[in-house]
């Protein structure tokens, strides 16, 4: 079976992707800037609205990709929430 992962950043996109045959979702916020961690509320709503796996981007801001220690601490908290 082919796999189809779709990037989503709204609940509407999420539902459309699943209905359209997506086998996995890549959830992020602020997609035009490369994506950042979505809110806890968005993560919960998306995960409770679909039956397919949801991968959540963990990136606290869009300034750069190499993170200093303080940002890594924030990312660890975001990972606990996203699980």
Q: Which residues of 49-83 are buried (b: 16+ CB within 10 A; e: fewer)?
A: ebeeebebbbbbeeeeeebeeeeeeeeeebeeebe
In the chain, where the domains are located:
5-82
pLDDT of 80 over the 80 cut? yes
Would residue 64 be called left, alpha or beta, if left means φ above 0 and alpha means ψ between -120 and 50 degrees?
beta
Q: Read off the pTM.
A: 0.87
Q: Which residue has the higher pLDDT, 66 or 7?
A: 7
Mean pLDDT is highest, among 10-24, 30-44, 56-70, for 10-24
Query: 């996203």: which residue's tokens?
Result: 82
Fold entry, domain 5-82: TIM Barrel (3.20.20)
């Amino acid at each position: 079976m082919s796999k189809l992962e779709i990037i989503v950043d709204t609940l509407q996109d999420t539902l459309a992707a699943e209905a359209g045959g997506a086998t996995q979702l890549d959830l992020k916020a602020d997609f035009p800037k490369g994506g950042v961690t979505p809110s806890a509320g968005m993560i919960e709503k998306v995960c409770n609205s679909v039956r397919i796996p949801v991968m959540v981007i963990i990136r606290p801001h869009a300034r750069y990709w190499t993170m200093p220690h303080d940002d890594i601490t924030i990312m660890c908290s975001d990972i606990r929430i996203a699980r």
